[in-house]
Amino acid sequence: MRAIYPGSFDPITNGHIDIIIRASKLFDELRIAVGGNILKNSVFSIDERVELIEASLRSQDVDISKIIVEKFDSLLIDYAKKVNADVIIRGLRAVSDYEYELQMALANKEMNENIETIFLVSSGKYSYLSSSLVKEIAYFEGDLDNFVPDVVKKNLRNKFQ
């Protein structure tokens, strides 16, 4: 089975990496799909985000044999069909994620009933972590050691310098 793990990844965090490692063990192919959320202003360009994901996975010694990192610029469900994905993976942290995730999953299901959304519950130690939180900590020069890989930390420092 082929899965997509879509998101803004602005930037990738240790919480995303945890989901990637776990999802890659469940599927034959995992495509990390970097998309634009039109409601969010991003700090990193889409190409920078793809590069940061690739560099982070390399630095964490993740088995990347089944993983593809790619950007997309369309409806997620159209992209999913184009790459023959069976499943969309989303990480679910707290209850607060649920409403937005439910809305997306139902809308995507309405547009293409053949593609399922599957939620992986975030590991407890990452259940509070988000890219927005990481950017705020970086902006105020806080300690990012437990939140993102070194390569992301360096790139955030450069952005906010």
Binding mask 127-156 for ligand PNS (x = CB under 6 A): ------------------------------
Q: How far is the CB of 113 from ligand PNS (least distance, A)?
A: 14
Please state, in angstroms and rounded to a whole number, the distance separating the CA atoms of residues 118 and 19.
12
For the chain, what percentages of helix, strand and coil (3-state, to nearest 5) are there? 45, 20, 35
Residue 31 annotated as catalytic: no
Please state, in angstroms and rounded to a whole number, the distance separating the CA atoms of residues 53 and 142.
22
Q: Could you say whether residue 108 binds ligand PNS (CB under 6 A)?
A: yes
Residues contacting 8, CB < 8 A, separation 6+: 34, 35, 36, 37, 40, 42, 49, 131
Looking at 4, 6, 148, 149, which residue binds ligand PNS (CB under 6 A)? 6
Looking at 64, 104, 133, 137, which residue binds ligand PNS (CB under 6 A)? 104
CA 102, 120, 55, 4 torsion-angle sign: negative
Determine which one of 8, 16, 24, 135 is catalytic: 16
Return the residues of window 71-100 that contact ligand PNS according to CB under 6 A.
75-76
Q: How far is the CB of 76 from ligand PNS (least distance, A)?
A: 3
Q: What is the DSSP letter of 61?
A: T
Residue 16 annotated as catalytic: yes
Q: Which residues bind ligand PNS (CB under 6 A)?
A: 6-8, 35, 37, 75-76, 104, 107-108
